[in-house]
Every structure is written in C-alpha cells, then in structure tokens.
A and B are shown apart, each in its own frame.
Chain A
Amino acid sequence: MVTSSTGEHALSMIGAGSHHKETFISKYIFSTDHKMIGKQFLYTGMAWAVIGGLFSVLFRVQLAWPDETFPFLEQIFSNWFDEGHMTPEAYYALVTMHGTIMVFFVLTASLSGTFANFLIPLQIGARDMASPIMNALSYWLFLLSSLIMLASIFLPTGMASAGWTIYPPLSILPQASSGSGMGMTLWLVSMVFFIASQLLAGINYISTVLNLRTKGMTMTRMPLTVWALFFTAIIGLLSFPVLFSAAVLLVFDKGLGTSFYLSDIFIGGKALGYSGGNAILFQHLFWFLGHPEVYIVVLPAMGIVSEILSLSARKPVFGYKAMILSLLGIVVLSFLVWAHHMFVTGMNPFLGSVFALFTLLIAVPSSVKVFNWLTTIWKGNIKMTVAAVFSLGFVSMFISGGLTGIWLGNATVDIQLHDTYFVIGHFHLVMGVAAFFGMFAGIYHWFPKMFGRFMNETLGYIHFFITFIGGYLIFWPMHYLGMSGVPRRYYDFNEFHAFSEYHDMNLLISVSAIVVFAAQFIFVINFFYSMKRGRKSTELNPWKVNTLEWTTPIIPGHGNWPGDLPTVYRWPYDYSKFEDGPDFIPQTVPLTEADIESDKKNLH
C-alpha cells in the first residue's frame, strides 16, 4: 500500500534526472530538487527583502526630514513624490507594502520556504519531498504572486495602502484612497496565489515529516529545526484558509456589492448601498490568521537557533522534550489569542478579557524556550561563529521584544499603548529583527551545504554588529515614543505641536535605519561573492555536527545520498557526551554499551 505509489512517482522523477542530460533550465529553473527549490525561495526572498527594506528607508526619510525636499528621490520614484516631498498617499502605500512584503513574502514564504525545503529532507534522511512536483508548484505559485505584487507597485494609481492588515472599509471603498482601487485588487489576487502556494508547501512538509523519515529516525530523534518547521507548516495549514475566506468575502464586498464588512456608509452626505455588515468581523477573521502568522514567522528561526546554539556550545540542547512541548504550546495558544490585536476596536469587553488571559499564557512556553536556550549555552565552550553570534542576537532580540508583549497583552495597558510606536518597537524586535537573525544564522550555517563554500567570516561579524546595534537603536527608542503617546502611521509629526519634541528621536531612528539597511548589502555582497569565490569546503562535516545533512556529499545531487539512506541510531544532540570520548557523535553512529549506560543516567 505504501510502497507502490510513492515509489513509482519518485522513480519517474529521479529517473528523468539521471537518464536525460540535465539542461540549465531543468536544473536551475524548473527544478524539482528540494534543495534547488529552497535556494529559489531564498533568492526571491532576498530580492523582496531589499525592496521591503528600501520602502522602510523611504518612509523613515520622510519622518526624519519632513520639511526637506528630495529632488533626487523624486527623479527615481516620481510616482510617489510631489515637489520633492513624499505624498501622504505614497507614505501609506509604502508602509502597507513594507508590512506585506516583510511579513508575507520574506519572513513567511522565504524563511520557512528556504529552510523547510532545504533542511527537512536532508535532516530526516529523505531523498526529496513527498511530492516534488507539488513542491515546485508551490514555488511557482509564490513567484506568480510575487510578480503580481511587484506589478502593483508600478501602478499609476498607486499600490495598496490600507495597511498590511487591509482593514475594511479602507480596503474596499475605492474612494478611501487611491491605492484602494486597482492596487488593492492586485494585492488580493496576489494573496490568493500566495495562500495556494503556502497550502501546497505546508501539506508537503507535513506529509514528508510524517511519512518519509529514514530508518531509526523516530519523531523524538528529529532535530529541533525539523520540529519547528513541522509546527510552522501546521500553523500555516490551519490559519491561511481563514485568511482565504476573509479575503474572498472582501472580494465579494469589493466587486459584487455585498456588505459582509460594511455597514451604512455615507460619502459626501450620500449613502452608499451597503448595509448590515460589520468591519470587526473582518478583523476577527484576519487576525485568526494574523496572529498565528507571527508564529509562522518566528518558529523556524527558533528551530534554527536551538540547533545552532547547541552545536556552537558543544552541549546537548537543554530540555529537548520541553523545547518540543513549548513549540506545541505556542502552536495551540497562537490560535486562541488573535483578538488581542483588537482590544480597542469596540469588541465585547468580556471576550477581550478572555483573550488577554490566553495571551498572557503565551509567556509560559516562550520563557521555557528562552530558559532552555540560555541553559544550553550555560558553561558551554561556545565557538563564536557568525551563525552563533546571530543566534545569540536572536535570543537577545526575542527577550527584549517578548517582554513588552506581556504589556501589550494586557487589555488595560494595551488601550493606552495601542497604535503607538510602542507596538511597532515590540513586534519588530520580537518577530522582525529576531526572525531575520534566525534566517541569517541559518544562511551562514548551512551555506557550505548549499554551495560547497564558506561565507566570509569578517564581513559576517561586521554585518552582525551593525545590524545588532543598529536594530536596537531603531526599535528601542520607539518604545519611549510609544509610551509618550506618539501614534503610528502618521505622515508628518511636525504638524503636531505635541509630537514635534520627539523629532530628535525620529532622526536617530531614521539614521540608524538607513545604516542598517546599507549594512545588509554587506551580507548580499558576501553571499554572492562567497557563492563563487568563497573558501571551498573540503570537509564533509565542517561544523562537526551530528545531524544527517552533513553525511551527504559536500554538494549533494538530486536524491541527496549516493548510496543507501543513512540509518539513525541516536538523537541529534550528542555533543561532549563522554569526557574522554569524541566531541560529537553523529546520528548515524550505532549506540554502544557506554551510550546506553549514559542514557540511562541522563534521560533526555
């Protein structure tokens, strides 16, 4: 029952690869190899990250120098500038697209797309994904949605500008803003393809992890990266459909004139034909995706960081089972807390207090994870590779950003802080910069497996320190701004006497943002330079790691292992197990009597 279908299917896949000469197109473009698809996600994500970062720099320039004129920017972005000033419409559109791009295209699709594709088959000992064709299709749908979103940027009427949360009525009524017409429509079309891509990918990851593990790779012998990516796929699978239904109803409202989300609306004293809907309904449905979405963003980073911290400290990860259970706890809680984004919308206050209670519970699994990371590196002999410093940076960012989450989870405090820069500071630290750090750590760490070469370490450290310090310089002051009541999404603070005092701080944030954005090009240059010219990897296992991907050839072909699949005998964290023994014991090494004795003593 199980052999035949997969066997035939995969045989035809791999057979095609081995019998016919591979052309450039079949190898690099229309590839079904999970490693190539992972790289494709990575390249697309990097392109998007540059665009998203550029947008943030543009609107930070506006906030820092609202009175200056920028003729040179106007020459490049003529659509968005008027007499040297950014137009308010363009400001909102840029903010919207910055959020959309970073959350969906970079940190959802690209982060889990890259690492789930690249790592899951390699780390569980599979030749490829369960369905390589569906996997390729998920990338191509993602690219299609990317291209549609990209096209919307160049619309003469402007791109979507209702915020990345596309709250109605802003997003429905074309009269609301210039971007709510064609720009919003393209946004929605793009998102439909994006959701389809995420579903295909998620179904694939889940069935691969469940069904294609190699011999001996029980669920409790899987590396934490695979666990994290597995849970991420589950969250995506369950939350994106609800965004889909919310978006479909939004399309009905936009195109068919139904009023799911719209109640009586008057423009210029004239009533529109809508009646009977409720805008809060959309917010509920959106945040039913939107909150799990932030865990989709941060869970892969958590997995990568757990793995890298353990191998850098040369210590087994502390509390492996607790790590898995806390991931599971986060998954479960992530679906119960969505309305804490809506405390000020006028929802039922009693319901709000229930949501606040659930929200505060998230602190428990999160702090279990932080505790375990800290105890993993405690007294470890830490090798400060670039990946390790980025992982430590992740932990730092996650703690600083996570603590303020406890404030915001309280309905009473949130009413004060909602829609201020405090929120911006909070979520950028905890899921923005932190997730990026996880991604960087992963790229620096697995670069030798991807391209057979190492990235330049010096450039890596420079990249880290600028990003780390710069990241704090950008987002730390935002907390103070927020506590002073400075609201988010304002185009020009100098218009308000009360807020003009904070101009210095805005200036500091903007300058840091520009520096950090510029520093990312160090990474980009390092990435592409090292791909061609970097130090060659001559060892099979350069970082001395236990997991299976380092038992493949330096650059594995399609199918990953030339011979039989490896057999797994132990969990992936046997670092410094015996005082006089080897520093690390790969998963493929059979258990000895000493192992069994030792495992009896320290049950992990």
Chain B
Amino acid sequence: MAELLDENVISEHITLPAPNNNEGGEDTPFKVSYGKTMMWFFLLSDAFTFTGFLIAYGAIRMSKTWWPDPNVVFAGMPFLHGVNVPLGLVSIMTTILILSSVFVVRAVIEGHRMNQKGVAFWLFLGILGGVAFLGCQAWEWSHLIHDGMTPFYNVYHAGPEGETIKLALAEKAKTPVSPGPPMFGGSFFGITGFHGLHVSIGVVMNIVALIKTLNGTYQRRGHYEMVEKFGLYWHFVDLVWVFVFLFFYLI
C-alpha cells in the first residue's frame, strides 16, 4: 500500500501490463471474444432499426384498402425487354445474396484451418456475389424510375376489379396526383436503399478483409477473427434481405 501512496508513482504514467480478457484468469462468460460480442450487439441494434423501417411500411400498407401487386410491379428482367417474368429478377438476386453469404461462411471455416488461399478464394466469390447483387438492384431501381416511379409518385394503380394497372409514361404528365398509393415508392426506395447501403458497406468490409488476407496480416496474427466479424455482418445483410424479399416482393 505504501508505494501506491508515493506521489511519484501516482503522478508518473506507469508502464502497465497489457489488459486482456484472460487477465485475472476469469474466462469470458460466453467464450466469445469482445470483438465478436460487440458485432453481435451491433447487429441486434441494427435489427431494431430495420424492424422500425419494416413495421412503419407494414402499418402504412395495412391502413390502405389497395396496394399494387408485386407480381406485376417487379416483372422486368435485364436483357429481356418487354418480357414479363414475375419475381424473376428478385429471385436471382436472392439466390446471389444467399450464395454470397455461403461463400463467406466457407471463408470463415477456411480461416479456422488457417488456409490463407482458401479464405481469399471464398472471400473473393463472396465479394463478387455482393457486387452482382448491387448491380441487379441498380438495374431494378433504374427500371422502376424509368417507368415513372418516384418516392412520392406511384404509376401502379387499381383497375376496375382491383387488378394492378401501370400508368403509361405519356399519361404521367397529365396526372399530377399520384394515381396509386404514393407510399409504395417511398417505402420501397427507402428500405431497399437502406439495405443496399448496408450491402455496399459489407462489400467494402469484405474487400478490406480480402486485401488483408492476401497480405498475410491475419496469417501472421494467428487467427482470422476479423473475417469472422465481417462475416457476421454480411450474414446479417442476408438476413435482412430475406425479410425485405418477403414483405416487398412476396406478400
């Protein structure tokens, strides 16, 4: 105790042993490192963000007597102009994103084996999937915007029997008030946009992980936990997409 009270010891900056989870001998309660714990809790809070968005959209949609049929709205396909393929593109997008998620899981497993080449290979495939998904989304957005859809204007409106009819582009100038429920565009662009932002961030994170893997940073560090953490985020993006897919495209 005496030396603690010594003024010099107190005021000087003392060189200290490095703190870590195992200091003192107590194990972490969940056998999960602090970095992964943080990522998990961040994802938990992000789940609340997305639920906030989705339930706002849900409440608004429930308060409407009529809503456009997604099978009609989302029927465009790249390179197949004028051919109607209901839910075609979005099914491809879903497949791409889920496969990309699988590739990243494979990268994580290879990381556990310290297989640098394996990690890099699967991560590369995962990034390709992410970029392909973003490309599809960009096409879909521009397709919808080309048709005259905006966040506050909906060209899809109810026909006499409740079917979904598209307002011709030429008619749009003559109808200043949105013929269909305007919140269709608002919530679609808002929520898929926010999800797309997450995908973009995830792609950037995976690219960083890929570069560091190729540099051998993780190999020298002795573990690929960073790939695992970024992977958690990437799967979360996939998880959100599953729900966006359900509420915007299927129901």
A216 contacts chain B at the CB level, 8 A cutoff? yes
With A212-B34, A277-B183, A540-B5 in contact, is A3–B22 under 8 Å at CB? Answer: yes
B218 CB → nearest A CB, Å? 11
Known: A17-B13, A540-B1. A281 touches B60 (CB 8 A): yes
**Stretch in A86-94, A177-185, A252-260 touching the partner:** A252-260
A75 at the interface (CB under 8 A from B): no
Residue of B nearest to A237 (CB): B45
What are 10 of the A-B contact pairs (CB < 8 Å)? A5-B225, A10-B18, A202-B45, A215-B24, A215-B26, A216-B24, A240-B45, A244-B52, A248-B53, A559-B19
Please report A residues at the B interface, Cβ cutoff 8 Å: 1-8, 10-11, 14-15, 17-19, 22, 125-128, 130-131, 134, 199, 202-204, 206-208, 210-217, 219, 237-242, 244-246, 248-249, 252, 256-260, 273-278, 281, 284-285, 288, 538, 540, 553-555, 557-559, 561-562, 564-565, 567
A134 to B34, CA, bound (A): 13
- Closest CB of chain B to A136's CB: distance in Å? 15
B190 at the interface (CB under 8 A from A): yes
Given contacts A203-B41, A217-B26, A260-B60, 19 further A-B contacts (CB under 8 A): A4-B223, A11-B18, A14-B19, A17-B13, A22-B13, A127-B19, A130-B38, A211-B32, A242-B52, A258-B185, A260-B186, A275-B182, A277-B60, A277-B183, A278-B59, A553-B4, A555-B10, A564-B24, A565-B23
Which B-chain residue is minimally distant from A247 (CB atoms)?
B52
A557 to B60, Cβ gap below 8 A? no
Interface size on B, residues (CB 8 A): 65
| A6-B19 contact, Cβ under 8 Å, with A241-B45, A258-B183, A273-B152 | yes
Whether B115 sits at the interface, judged by CB under 8 Å, is no
> Residue B247 at the A interface, CB < 8 A?
no
Complex contact B49–A242 (CB within 8 A): yes
Give every chain A residue within 8 A of B56 (Cβ-Cβ).
245-246, 249, 260, 281, 285
What 4 A-B pairs come out closest when comparing CB atoms? Answer: A245-B52, A215-B24, A127-B19, A258-B186
Once bound together, how far apart are the Cα atoms of A204 and B45, in whole Å?
Answer: 13
Contact in complex: B14, A249 (CB < 8 Å): no
Q: Per a CB cutoff under 8 Å, which of A199, A207, A558 touches B16?
A: A558
- Are A259 and B183 within 8 A (Cβ)? yes
Residues of B within 8 A of A239 (CB): 48
Interface string of B19-51 (1 = CB under 8 A from A): 111111111111111110110011011111111
Chain A, residue nearest B29 (CB): A210
B174 in the interface (beta carbon within 8 A): no
> Is B80 among interface residues, defined by CB-CB distance under 8 A?
no
Question: B146 in the interface, Cβ–Cβ < 8 Å?
Answer: no
B interface with A by C-beta (< 8 Å): 1, 4-5, 9-35, 37-38, 41-42, 44-53, 56, 59-60, 63-64, 151-152, 177-178, 181-183, 185-187, 190, 194, 221-223, 225
**A204, A241, A555, most chain B CB atoms within 10 A:** A241
Distance of A19 Cα from B45 Cα, bound (Å): 38
Determine the chain B residues whose CB is within 8 A of the CB of A208 once the complex forms.
34
Nearest chain B residue, comparing its CB with the CB of A208: B34
Identity of the chain B residue whose Cβ is nearest the Cβ of A22 in the assembled complex: B13
Report the minimal beta-carbon distance from B143 to chain A, rounded to whole angstroms: 19
Q: Which residue of B lies closest to A256 (CB)?
A: B151
Pick the residue among B38, B47, B177, B186 that contacts A252 (CB under 8 A): B186
- A257's contact among B5, B21, B152, B181, by CB below 8 Å, is which? B152
B13 (CB) vs chain A CBs: closest residue: A557
Chain A residues with CB below 8 A from B41, complex form? 202-203, 206-207, 237
Report A-chain residues with C-beta under 8 Å of the C-beta of B5.
Answer: 538, 540, 553-554
Question: Does B183 contact A276, Cβ atoms closer than 8 Å?
Answer: yes
Q: Within the complex, which residue of A2, A242, A553 is in contact with B48, where a contact is CB–CB below 8 Å? A: A242
Query: Once the chains bind, are A252 and B151 in contact (CB under 8 Å)?
Result: yes
Complex CA distance for A259 and B151, rounded to whole angstroms: 9
Are B37 and A259 touching (Cβ within 8 A)? no
Contact of B38 among A204, A257, A285, A558 (CB under 8 A): A204
**Chain B residues with CB under 8 A of A199:** 42, 45
Query: Residue B182 contacts which of A15, A249, A276 (CB distance < 8 angstroms)?
Result: A276
CA distance A257 to B152 in the complex (A): 6
Asked if residues A207 and B9 are in contact (CB atoms below 8 Å), the reply is: no
What is the minimal beta-carbon distance from A258 to any residue of chain B, in angstroms? Answer: 3
Q: Are B152 and A259 in contact (CB under 8 A)?
A: yes
Residue of B20, B32, B44 touching A10 (CB-CB under 8 A): B20
B223 to A, closest residue via Cβ: A4
Contacts of A273 in B (CB 8 A): 152, 177
The answer to whether B16 and A216 touch across the interface, beta carbons within 8 angstroms, is: no
Q: What residue of chain B has the Cβ atom nearest to residue A130's Cβ?
A: B34
Chain B residue nearest to A233 (CB atoms) is B41
Contact indicator B18/A7 (Cβ below 8 Å) = yes
Determine whether the beta carbon of B23 is less than 8 Å from that of A214: yes
Q: Who on chain A is nearest to B152 by CB?
A: A257
A212 → chain B closest CB, angstroms: 7
B152 touches A2 (CB 8 A): no
